[in-house]
Amino acid sequence: MLFRSDFVVNLFTASTHQTLLFFTDAGKVYWLKVHEIPEASRAAKGKALVNLLALAGSEKVTATLPVKEFRDDQFVVMATKNGLVKKTELSAYSNPRQGGIIALGLEEGDKLIGVQLTDGQREILLGTKQGITIRFAEGEVRSMGRTAYGVKGITLEEGNEVIGMETITPDSTTSILTVTEGGYGKRTPVGEYRVQGRGGKGIISVK
């Protein structure tokens, strides 16, 4: 059951032994054990995150990662609306604090829009609100400390911004589903998105 102005944005599975990492648009990360989330019936509304996390001000959660172990050979890859990307070892987030910690530094006016857990060998796709997509190797983004700002993932035209990020394996044969605000959608083989250098302008994904 949802409030009138609410809607579902993400679904995932997690065991009670896992930790959930909540990343906010302000570039912070918070921790919550799965078993600490109250269990509810199928039709229940659930509990507001503000009652479970010590969110500051107008912070909004933009991504959630279920984590079993904080390993050195896994990475957290992040993207901002201004086109920056950052990669940090998962182990850097192994010491939880009640008030959260900085996940990445943000310039004024920028926001964290996407987070993915990787093995360091994937490819990154960034999609913008003007229908542009760029695909580049994760290896082009070196691992950085928690408070670093990241590096340029895509060069944006004026008025454009990044609205989504996905990661795929280099040999992936999947399709990319692009959906517009007006309700139009198209499915394109991932092979049609050629691999470019990080920081390029990308190609048209949808007009």
Structure tokens at 22: 């909540």
- Cα separation, 194 vs 182, in Å, equals 27
**Residue located via tokens 């182990």:** 91
CB proximity list for 31: less than 8 A, separation 6 or greater: 19, 20, 21, 22, 96, 97, 100
Residue type at 67?
A: V
Task: Write the pLDDT tens digit of every residue in 149-163.
Answer: 999 999 999 999 999
Tell me the average pLDDT across 48-65: 86
- The pLDDT assigned to 125 comes to 97
The reported pLDDT for the residue numbered 40 is 82
Task: Assess whether pLDDT exceeds 70 at residue 167.
Answer: yes
pTM score of the predicted model: 0.88
Cα–Cα dist 112/110, whole Å: 7
**Could you tell me the pLDDT band of residue 12, with boundaries at 50, 70 and 90?**
confident
Query: Which pLDDT tens digit goes with each residue over 178-189?
Result: 989 899 999 999
Q: What is the pLDDT of residue 5?
A: 66
Q: What is the C-alpha to C-alpha distance for residues 148 and 104, in angstroms, rounded to an integer?
A: 6
Q: Please give the pLDDT value at position 41.
A: 84
Is the separation of the CB atoms in 148 and 140 below 8 Å? no
Mean pLDDT of the region 87-110: 92
Is residue 6 over pLDDT 80? no
Give the residue with greater pLDDT, 130 vs 58: 130
- DSSP secondary structure, 72-141, as one string: TT-EEEEEETTSEEEEEEGGGG-S--TT-EESS---TT--EEEEEEE-S--EEEEEETTSEEEEEEGGGS
User: Is 1's pLDDT higher than 60?
Assistant: no
- The more confident residue out of 101 and 5 is 101
25 with 111: CB under 8 angstroms? yes
112 has a pLDDT exceeding 70: yes
pLDDT of residue 186: 92
Instruction: Look up tokens 């795929």; give the residue.
Output: 168
